[in-house]
Structure 1
Amino acid sequence: MSLTSAPGPGWLLFSFGMGLVSGSKCPHTCLCQTPEVICTGKQLAAYPPDIPLNTRRLYLDNNRITYLPAMNLGLLSDLVYLDCQNNLIREVMDYTFVGVFKLIYLDLSSNNLTLISPYSFSVLSNLVQLNISNNPHLSSLHKYTFANTSSLRYLDLRNTGLQILDHAAFHHLITLKTLYLSGNPWNCNCSLLDFSIYLIVSHLDQPGEGLTGS
């Protein structure tokens, strides 16, 4: 999938219309203090409706949410901070974050992720910090997963079940400073050599044990 295949103007107009109806409210279980919405630990089984359109920080952590609906999330064009840690999210698709172009901080740690589509983060060119740690069933990442996240400085991949990483996945991360890799069942054979060389020459800060495995 390319960015040109993303939802077009019709989708945006429909989203805008939906926002005029529901964007000024606040989920009854959450706390709304402009520009912040806090839904932490509310036992939510789904993404809450009626998130104000001017929300900049959204806390959905410690719930039972299974997926992030692009239609609703895409209304939050000013969103810069999204905390979804400790939920039951299984997949992140190519279109999930279409509309939240300003996002700087994204936490998807401690979920049930088994799939992150190749272009899931492709619109997040302003993303600085990404945490997908503690997703033990996420066994692989596509080499284009981080292709357009050129502002990324902090990336946490601890305890994700990763066995191999293509070093090409990091070619465009020119601002990356900190990379967490420990706690993964790395398949330490020749296929991991290129990535190991990349880590050596990149001079990245790798707190903890780095590349360890069987």
Structure 2
Amino acid sequence: MHHCFCTVGGVMRFAPQSSAQPLRLIVLLLFTARVNTSPMLSSGCPDRCVCDDQLVVQCAGQHLTTFPVNLPLATRQLIISNNRIVELPPLALNYLSDLVYLDCSNNSLTEISESTFGNLRKLAYLDLSFNTLIHIEDRTFGPLVSLVMLRMTDNPGLSEMHQDAFVENAALQVLDVSRNNLTVVNITSLIALPALRSVGLSGNPWSCECDNEDLCLWVHLEGFKFQDEGQTVCGSPADMQGRRLGEVGIQLRTLCHQTLGSWDYLFFVVIGFVIFAAGTVTYLNSFVFTFKKEITRSTPQWQQAQ
């Protein structure tokens, strides 16, 4: 039995109360708190966005200049394309740990880094096309271990991708970097991706010189992997302009290895020095031996006997 204060006729009195009632209140409070904090049951939705019961948040074409706030934490698809967003804030984005689809195309993004996607381990689709990206840093996409498709086309200032940008994306199947400003790319990490089956490179001013020999040879050997392979052409040098990368792959292999490299020259210099030194020592030994022999011959026998 539990007691509580009750007011009867202006006088405060004790009144018996069943112990079951506060227990029910506690359960009710706990349930209410659970409902209010559960992202699955959250009814909030960012301004100018549409949220549905399939956990899709649609914010496309709303003239947004900043990343939307108050997103449901359980969001699985987020579409913020066709806005003027300049930054993806890591703190806000990484709360969306269940996100599998992110479309950021046609915005004003200038920079992304490893921290941008630090907690999006379920993300499978990412579109960064039609932005103003300039370079892709080391391990930018490293946390995206489930990434299957990456579209990063039509960034006119994008001229550099770090050779290790995709080194940890073992699940990546489709990579499209068409119509950027890329001239050279180190393919070491790309050719090591076990699932990669489709690559888009067209519309870039590719260098078809020795510094890009590996890329050209890769396109030649595995042309079936490359989207629009016929439009993946050389931008320089002048005598190669317009020629397909796959077409010049073998030619570059021959041209780039017909002359000796700096290490080859150094090797021959060292070998030449060793041979010269060995020859000099041999000559000196021979000279000393001959000199001693002549001295021995010219010495009278009576002196030798002594």
TM-score by length of structure 2 reads 0.61
Match in the other structure for 1:30: 49
- Quote how far apart the aligned CAs of 1:133 are: 0.4
Match in the other structure for 1:86: 106
Which has more helix, going by share of residues? 2
Q: Which of the pair has more CA radius of gyration?
A: 2
Q: String of CA shifts for 1:27-55, please: whole Å, max 9, x gaps.
A: 02100113100000000001010110110
Q: Tell me, which stretches of 5 or more residues in structure 2 are unaligned? A: 1-36, 237-306
Match in the other structure for 1:149: 169
Q: Equivalents in 2 of 1:38, 1:194: separation in Å? A: 42
Q: Equivalents in 1 of 2:67, 2:137: separation in Å? A: 20
Q: Which amino acid aligns with 2:178?
A: R
1:142–1:169 Cα contact (<8 Å) kept: no
Instruction: Indicate whether 1:138 and 2:165 are aligned.
Output: no
Matches within 5 A, 1:168-207: 168-202=188-222, 204-207=224-227
- Quote how far apart the aligned CAs of 1:125 are: 1.2
Among all aligned residue pairs of Structure 1 and Structure 2, give the percentage whose two residues are the same amino acid. Answer: 38
- Quote how far apart the aligned CAs of 1:113 are: 0.4
**Number of aligned residue pairs:** 195
Once the two structures are overlaid, the 10-residue window that deviates more, 164-173 or 196-205, is: 196-205
2:102–2:125 Cα contact (<8 Å) kept: yes
2:87–2:110 Cα contact (<8 Å) kept: yes
Q: Which amino acid aligns with 1:136?
A: P
Match in the other structure for 1:8: none
Larger RCO (alpha carbons 8 Å, 6+ apart): 1
SS at match of 1:48: coil
- Quote how far apart the aligned CAs of 1:203 are: 5.0
Instruction: Indicate whether 1:210 and 2:229 are aligned.
Output: no
The alignment yields a C-alpha RMSD, in angstroms, of: 1.7
Instruction: Indicate whether 1:113 and 2:127 are aligned.
Output: no
Once the two structures are overlaid, the 10-residue window that deviates more, 100-109 or 21-30, is: 21-30
- Quote how far apart the aligned CAs of 1:197 are: 1.8
Structure 1 runs (4+) greater than 6 angstroms displaced:
none
Q: Tell me, which stretches of 5 or more residues in structure 1 are unaligned? A: 1-19
Q: Equivalents in 1 of 2:66, 2:194: separation in Å? A: 36
Once the two structures are overlaid, the 10-residue window that deviates more, 55-64 or 114-123, is: 114-123
Instruction: Indicate whether 1:52 and 2:72 are aligned.
Output: yes
- Quote how far apart the aligned CAs of 1:171 are: 3.3
Match in the other structure for 2:117: 97
Matches within 5 A, 1:7-18: none
Q: Equivalents in 2 of 1:123, 1:137: separation in Å? A: 25
1:176–1:204 Cα contact (<8 Å) kept: no
2:207–2:234 Cα contact (<8 Å) kept: no
Q: Equivalents in 2 of 1:202, 1:151: separation in Å? A: 19
SS at match of 2:175: strand
Q: Equivalents in 2 of 1:161, 1:29: separation in Å? A: 34
Q: Equivalents in 2 of 1:174, 1:199: separation in Å? A: 17
